[in-house]
Amino acid sequence: MHPSKSTAVETHPPGLFLLFFVEMWERFSFYGMRALLTFYLIKGFLKADDKTAYAIYGAYGALVYATPYLGGIFADRYLGARLAVIWGGILMAAGHLLMAVEQEWALFGALGLLIVGNGFFKPNISTMVGTLYPQGSTKRDAGFTIFYMGINLGAALAPLVCGYIGETYGWHYGFGLATIGMLTGLVTFVVPRGLARGLILLASLAIVVTMFRFSNDTTQTLLNLPIAIALVGAGAVSFVKLGTGGLPEGTGAPRDAAGNPVKPRLVLPIFLGTLAAVAPIALLVSHHAYATWMLNIVGVIAFGSIILTAMRSDRIVRDRLTVVLVLCFFSMLFWAFFEQAGSSVNNFTDRNVDRVVGDSGVRAGQTYTDVVVTQEFLGVDVNGKTWTLTDIEVAQRASTEGKPEGRVTFTADAEDEAKGLAVGGDEIKASVFQAANPTFILLFGPVFSWLWGALGRRDPSAGVKFALGLLQLAAGFACFWIGAKTADGNGMTAMHWLLLGYLLQTTGELCLSPVGLSLVTKLSPAAIGSTIMGAWFLATAFSHLVAAAIAGMTGVSEGGEGAAVPPPTETVGVYGDVFGGIAIAAAVSGVLLLAISPWLKARMHLSDAEAAGHGAH
């Protein structure tokens, strides 16, 4: 008897498209908050200086990547992935909601909730994707690539919606949208399939309407358009696919030793214990030096145990663990540099990148009436007032609210014309540029997946790909450095240098990130596979602490009420010098890794195809 066409050709399980949207909304909320966090710490009620804001951001990022290890253990042994995802989603939604309260206890409590919630959510929804495919499935890698596209669709939407609305209309609106996003993902996950289908379509259309309803200019509308089309397309595909089925019964349930589903255990103690952990974790973030000490202790224990295991193992296991540790170090360097995006590069974009499109220069002696204040006024004397970032933001908020003080009338003089003061045009919000990286991943991720497959046996080894990632990262920071060095007389950098830098960083990420995860699963002994993967993510946690220290070198604001950021002419050189230093450090690291890659490949003890590090993104 011949199999029917439907069973002969393997297709992606419908449950993948449900998890796609659950993860997309979670990433929307997570990156929506990330796009605003540094700005909120500096410009919001806390009035932190740059170095304090970077340290808080770094401690938060480090702990976010440290907790998934524990969340995975709790899910494997007691809760199951499904219940862990639900609990993590509830905690994260509460954290996003609490961010809207302008109190210091609320701020750090919210970050604590997000850290703990992410620990339960992040590792377990990915695990559920893997369980949808049988062993040996030819669709598994493609399924994870589709899931990865959902991650990046959410990450691209977040700055365009949460970031833009938070900067334009008020911080609490941006954080509120992040809360709605998290709740949408959570409800989609728990309701019956029919309701989930409708919610996916309704929520997708609602966010598209929000994108265009609150966009104040043509440029922002055009930036929103391709991501909006992608969202509607993904929603339509998911609606159709979920019409044929949903998550299989028992997906995400805890299992016994024989692999059979069992009831969750110790649910109430784990829930109460994690709630009790929120306050101490919030304290670690607010006293970031404590977070550094704690992670150092955990790191010594984790990596020390791996080194001891390697020393006691046979030659092949010892060699493979040596490769993992070496690549852990270079991965940490990569992410320490890359994660400047949410801190120093974010502030550089705000303060020193010309973000106004379609403006025109003023002419001396001409009077300009009811002009909307844009970034072009930064550091310029207009009507006897030298405009600061704070002045511009106050005027823009007033203009958004329809108040007359949001516009100015002035007569340009020769100095205004000489300085290149321009009026009109559309200003792109600084947080919106954080959509560049995930958008580039959506565009180039499939290209890189195809490329590695097309190269076949000529596919570079994992070490070479890591080196290429570091070298492209170096080229990206070199673009930022060139932009700073070629800034105009007002200290403003052309936007294309920022976008080119983000593009090169993204292609570097595509060479390193998926390859590293795939290789760790191949090189780790089965008995300690989870421990090795936990150490891999722990290295990412350390990278956030290193990133905060690097970002601190660009600190130019003093913080506090009434403190103003120095004019662009005084800050552009500070950013340029640090970005140039990062470019050199990343390039040297890439060349060193390229030199030792044959040595690493020999110690992987894999076939050429395996050593290339194919894997889902």
Chain CA centroid to CA 126, Å:
16
Cβ atoms of 539 and 303 within 8 Å: the answer is no
Mean pLDDT per 10-residue run, the chain (617 residues)? 42 89 93 91 90 93 86 85 92 93 94 94 83 75 81 94 93 93 94 93 95 90 94 93 87 77 88 95 91 84 82 87 90 94 94 92 92 87 85 88 86 86 90 95 87 78 92 98 93 95 95 79 71 78 92 80 76 96 97 95 74 43
pLDDT at 615: 40
pTM: 0.89
Give the residue among 164, 162, 126 at the shortest CA–CA distance from 147. Answer: 126
Enumerate the β-bridge partners of residue 15.
none
- Considering the domain delimited by 13-244+262-286, tell me its CATH architecture: Up-down Bundle (1.20)
Amino acid 263 reads K
Q: Looking up tokens 């170090």, which residue turns up?
A: 329
pLDDT at 116: 95
Tokens standing for residue 96: 């996003």
Q: What is the 3-state secondary structure (H, E, C) of 358-397?
A: CCEECCCCCEEEEEECCHHHCCCEECCEECCHHHHHHHHH
pLDDT at 303: 82
Q: Looking up tokens 């990632």, which residue turns up?
A: 469
Amino acid 395 reads A
pLDDT at 394: 87
Domain boundaries, the chain: 13-244+262-286, 308-355+429-617, 359-427
pLDDT at 6: 39
Q: Is 3.90.1150.10 the CATH classification of the domain at 308-355+429-617?
A: no
pLDDT at 527: 66
pLDDT at 2: 41
- Distances from the Cα of 554 to the Cα of 139, 289, 543, 570, angstroms: 46, 19, 17, 12
Distance in angstroms (rounded) separating the CA atoms of residues 401 and 397: 6
Distance in angstroms (rounded) separating the CA atoms of residues 104 and 495: 35
Tens-digit pLDDT profile for residues 137-181: 767 767 877 888 888 999 999 999 999 999 999 999 999 999 999
Distance in angstroms (rounded) separating the CA atoms of residues 47 and 529: 44
Count CA within 13 A, CB hemisphere, residue 524.
21
pLDDT at 500: 98
Distance in angstroms (rounded) separating the CA atoms of residues 21 and 239: 11
pLDDT at 304: 85
Distance in angstroms (rounded) separating the CA atoms of residues 449 and 359: 40
Q: Do domains 13-244+262-286 and 308-355+429-617 have the same CATH topology?
A: yes
Enumerate the β-bridge partners of residue 426.
357
Distance in angstroms (rounded) separating the CA atoms of residues 191 and 189: 6
